[in-house]
Every structure is written in structure tokens, then in C-alpha cells.
Structure 1
């Protein structure tokens, strides 16, 4: 099996060498690397051309005006020729045995996609924690999970994704405007309804945490939360359109999405007993939580609600007292 490795790059010149060299060092060598530079303004072109000169039989370089991640994926897929398409972010790296592990899973004809674990590393490639990477409670029927959880995100990111070309031909080209960022979500949610996706609990790469990527900040602003919620709604609309196009019998209902529903409730800052009970039921039935996490998050949710209740009643009482005094 031949792999096509699609690397979308935008201003990550400082990490490109590590990313590409981690592919070159693979124990499984039947692959091509397609680097799509998405209008970088740093010295990415120079770095890419030097690497292409160093490995002329392995690297295909494409330079285009900035279109976002979705547009870069479209370009890379169109230029690819492999039976298996694997994605690697330009700031991430792979373990030397990544492709060998993946190709063994793809020997099973019913498997159309493979995901795996990533460990977090810093800007210098050093491991950030000694804890084991998060394991995903996913079976091979991702479609069922997506429907049950309302498109809730609990999946590994771009650099852990690989799919059969034949499956991605039913997904590409993707909308470059709606998927300017987070295009890995488009791939995961769409392919879930096209066949069996295997998640292997092996660490086969490093996800780099640094100041320039979308997940680096420990503090999340209200603006980022609002943007994320809009992103969930857009994703849901896109997925349901896709399901309609492939004549899938079911649609995704966002009311089942615990992450979205809980955050929307918090933003309202209003005590609503019916919604509290509904969200509590979602927490207790949430397939992505272990039993002890369900207890923890349920207690945390109720603690926040009690805070909302007493704060609102205090403000109401204070307002009435002021009006009476006037």
C-alpha cells in the first residue's frame, strides 16, 4: 500500500524540518509527501524547497495563495496518488513506526480509516507530561457515537488521521470557506458514516503545544467560546447536509451534545430547573465519561448551578430592597 502524506503549512517554517524528517524516518517507506504551503509569509518556501532538493523522490511541494486548512487539504488530496491518505500538521511529528502500525490495520478490508493517540510535546519537542495520553472510548461504529452525542468532539486531531482514498473521494472537495480551520472535524464526522473507523490506543505521534496554535492557551475568552459554539452549529449543519447527500436515514441532533448544551446554559446565567435536569441526565449517560468522571462533573455542574441560583436571588433581593427604599 502506498501512503500519501498531506502536510498543510502556514507560517510554520521553524517546525517543518522536524515534521518532514519524522516522515522520512518511517520504517515503512512506501509513501509520498505532499507539502501544501498555504501562502506563508515566513521562510517556509525556502525550507520546503531545501527539503525537496534533499529528498526529490519523496516530496512534492505546492505553493498557493492562502485558502485555509480546508483549501490546503483539497489541493493536497487532488495532487495525491496513494491508496491511503494520512494527514500531518506542519508543527507535529510522528513516531518512526507510525505508518507500519497503520498499514497493518488497513490490511482489514472493512476498515476505512484509522486514528491513534498523540502525546503532547513543547515547541522544542520535549514531552510535556509523564501522564499517559488521553484514551478515546470509541468503537468502530463512529456513526452511532456521532448520532448519540450530537457531534460532540472527543477525537484525536489531524496528525492522527488516515483514510482510504476511496472513502475520501466521497468527502472531497470540502467547503474551503466553512472549513477554513478545524478541517479535521469535517474528515472525522463525514467518514464516520462511510465505514468502520478503527482507533488504536498507541502513541504514534507528538502534538506540539506552542503559542501559535489553536489549543495552546490555557485561558479561554468569552469570544473564543462564542466562536466555538458557532463552529459546532456550523459543523452540525454541514454534517446533516452530508448525510442527506448520501441518503443516510438519520440526522444529528445538537440537543444530545452535552458540551454545547452545558456551555449554552452557562452563558445564559439563569436558573432553569428543567434544563438543569436535562443536562444532568446527559452527564450521567455521557459515553465519553468514566463512572467517576460522571459523578465529578455532575457535582461540579450542580455546584455552579447553586452559585447561579443564590447569586440571582441575591441580586433580585438587593434590587427589591433598593426599590422599596426609594
Structure 2
């Protein structure tokens, strides 16, 4: 039987947390549920304490200084303290469905497979959250990939470098990974990234470990969309958006430097990083940097729309 540690970072999620935790409790495969309370300003800590007192599977952690450190640091703390042979993640405003670990029961019979992922559905918890989400993302009922895949095809697919479109990023809620793989490859969430640390982690994971898709045509977990979802608050190609994208792609670019990656992948990281870096510059220095970059790598012109937007904001 699988031996799973479920890691749930908690910040201002008092309204949703109990439903999230109760969705993970019934599974025989779940050995422990680790709540990392990240100095919430609501009564999340009290909810965590009540749940931990009521259910022996639940472990409550806080950062040593009891301060707020963000989701990445909270997940890293959960990884460090976990005792299961497998790791899964769950956001405090989301929940698992009864089929959450159906694919895992057979996929991990193959010792080569180090992780698997499935599809995540969407539940609109507020009308405002629904409108904001649908204004920025396609109104798809599933966050999933387009076809079954495994191994390096997943890594290349996540970067849009496969012959056919692989699909969107799969969500952390639908990922199950062997703890041994996380430890072997020293995988942790980048704590510099306040957003996109999940995508950063997933791409690095897909390179280092052998992943295989599980249930991708129906949801195995649900995302709760509400007024306070951070990802819907950022205007696409705004200065804030561009800066966060730069940090994300720069993280991947720096990670890639000592590795033996295909040239098209290294170029992809560089061009993405450079495009968002240029978008944050102004005036003469921006023009010089842009021309220098074009001379070295004309493919930067394929990302012209970012410069057009940035120019209109200056």
C-alpha cells in the first residue's frame, strides 16, 4: 500500500481549510496530513489546532520564528518533516476527490516511475472569483494535459517543445511523487518566487525524475476559485506580471546552466528570461540592450508583443 504524506500550506484559509483536510483524511494511503500555518491574519491557526486535536493523522507545523514565509517555504518545511514514502500537495482552499489515488495504486508498481499526475477540476466559490478567473483564463473545466505521456516528453511538453501541443501545466494538487526522488535530486520550491514556484518546481521535477501521466480525462482534485486567488489579480503583461515572469524564467535559466540540456531548451529559457527582462527597461538603455540581444539571437523577435506592451506603458 502507498504511504503518503499530504502537505498543505495554510495562510488565511480558515473558511476553506476543514473541507480541504477532510477530503484527504479518508484515504487509507494517507499516512499523515501536514498543515504548515504561515502566520495567517484570520483564525486559520485556531482551525488547524482543532483539526490536529481531533485527528491523529494531522500534524501542525509553523515556521521556527512563527513568521510568514510564503507557500514555497511552507511546502519545503512540510517536505523536510514528512515521513511518508510518497509526497502529495494540497492547497488549503482546494480538495481531493474520491478517485485521487486510483492511478497511483498500479502506476507505482513500476519502480522506474517516480511520480504521476492527473487532472484538476474547477469549483467557483464566488461570482467575483468566477468572473476574474474567466476573464484571464480559458473557461475549461479541467486543468490537464492533452495526451498521455511519460519521461522526457513531459519535460519538453511543459515547455511547449513537443511536436504536438502537450497542454497546460498540471496542478500540484494532482501530483504524487516518491519522497526518494525529491531527496535524491535535492528538489525544493524556490522561496524567492512568491508566485510561479509551483510551475518552477514541476518543470525541474519533470527533468530530474521519471514522471508518467495518470488520470487526465477526469478530475481527481478540485481548485476553489474565489475573490482572493492571487493568480487572477495580476494584469497580463503589466509591470508586475513581467517582473514575476522574469523571476520565474530566470530561476529556470540559472538552474539550467550547470546541466546538460538540449540547446533548444537552454535557448528557450534564455529568450523567455531576456524578453521579460527587457520589458522592464526604459528609454535608451532598453533600445541598446534590445538591439544587442537581436544581433546575438534574432529569435528574440518572436516575443515582440512583450516589448510593444512595455513600450506603451513607458
Asked if these proteins are the same fold (TM beyond 0.5), I'd say yes
1:118/1:207 contact within 8 Å kept: yes
Structure 2 stretches lacking a partner, 5+ long: 281-285
2:234 is equivalent to residue 234 of structure 1: no
Measured after TM superposition, the shift of residue 219 of structure 1 is 4.9
Q: d(CA) in 2 for partners of 1:103 and 1:39?
A: 36
SS at match of 2:40: coil
Tell me the residue number matched to 1:136.
145
2:195/2:244 contact within 8 Å kept: no
Which of 187, 206, 209 is 1:195 aligned to?
A: 209
SS at match of 1:60: strand
Residues 1-326 of structure 1 mapped to structure 2, 5 A cutoff: 1-26=2-27, 28-55=28-55, 57-64=56-63, 65-123=67-125, 132-137=141-146, 139-140=149-150, 141=152, 142-145=154-157, 149=161, 154-172=168-186, 174=188, 177-200=191-214, 201=216, 202-217=218-233, 219-220=235-236, 222-241=238-257, 244=258, 248-250=260-262, 252-255=265-268, 279=302
Q: d(CA) in 1 for partners of 2:236 and 2:18?
A: 31
Measured after TM superposition, the shift of residue 190 of structure 1 is 1.8
Q: d(CA) in 1 for partners of 2:101 and 2:79?
A: 18
1:8/1:35 contact within 8 Å kept: yes
Tell me the residue number matched to 2:283.
none
The count of aligned residue pairs is: 278
CA distance 1:258–1:153, change in 2 (3 Å)? farther
134-143 or 257-266, which deviates more: 257-266
Compute the TM-score of the two structures, normalised by the length of structure 2: 0.73
User: Could you list the per-position Cα deviations for residues 195-220 of structure 1 after superposition, in whole angstroms to 9, with x for gaps in the alignment?
Assistant: 32112213101111112122234854
Moved over 6 A (4+): 256-268, 274-278
Structure 1 stretches lacking a partner, 5+ long: 281-300, 313-326
Task: Please give the root-mean-square deviation of Cα atoms over the aligned residues, in Å.
Answer: 3.9
Q: d(CA) in 1 for partners of 2:275 and 2:187?
A: 33
1:86/1:162 contact within 8 Å kept: yes
Higher alpha-carbon Rg: 1
SS at match of 1:215: helix
SS at match of 2:36: strand
SS at match of 2:145: coil
Q: d(CA) in 1 for partners of 2:70 and 2:299?
A: 38
Q: d(CA) in 1 for partners of 2:11 and 2:176?
A: 21
Measured after TM superposition, the shift of residue 235 of structure 1 is 2.6
SS at match of 1:61: strand
